[in-house]
Amino acid sequence: MMKPFPALILFFLLIPTPSWAQTYEKWVEECHSYKDVAQWLNGNFQYDQIRDGESRLSRNTRAKPPRVQAPEETFRHRTGGSLDAALFARKTLNRINPDYRARIIHIAPDRTHVHYLCGFYVGGKLFVMDYWNSQEKLIGTHGPFENLKDYVQRFYLKHQPQHQSLFSCSFGFPPGKLSKSP
């Protein structure tokens, strides 16, 4: 008969590691497409509006850029602002398949706020990931679009009737916000 203590140790060694304890590296190895990233973001990521408040555009272009989380931190904490999530998506998508050519997109509806997205390509068409938005109708992976202008016109502005146009929208970071891409 097995003693209770060794049986307990054996039990804990044989049970699988819970998904929340999985490392970012191990998880990325198991991903096969952008759909795996979308599924994880949809089921795990919590948008943090307070943290995203750090993404306010400053009139002082010498302002210190917001501290961003590494993708491993975003995976572990399962929360962050739009820049944290966009960087997580960009790095993860490019590791899964460099042909996605994932890039950061910034959208600034006015002069005071910037929202970050992740754009990537499938079959030459642009798709946009946004699982870190306070407006539920904008959450998801959207596409295909011909280009960024097509995304803005056919999707973003359609779901944002309060914005007739955008102050700034392009790949990369807003001018003066961050000098280098993380």
For the chain, how many structural domains are there in total? Answer: 1
| The predicted structure's pLDDT at residue 19 | 47
Please choose, from the candidates 73, 55, 57, 49, the residue with its C-alpha nearest in 3D space to the C-alpha of residue 133: 49
CA distance 107 to 135: 14
Tell me if 177 is assigned to some domain. no
Tens digit of pLDDT for each residue in 122-168? Answer: 999 999 999 887 788 889 999 999 999 999 999 998 888 777 777 78
Note the pLDDT of residue 130. Answer: 94
How confident is the model over 110-116, as a mean pLDDT? 80
Domain assignment of residue 19, yes or no: no
Q: Which domain holds residue 126?
A: 32-171
- For residue 152, report the phi and psi dihedrals to the nearest 5 degrees: -60, -50
CATH of the domain at 114: 3.10.620
Q: Can you tell me the distance from the alpha carbon of 137 to that of 174, in angstroms, rounded to the nearest whole number?
A: 24
What pLDDT was estimated at residue 134?
75
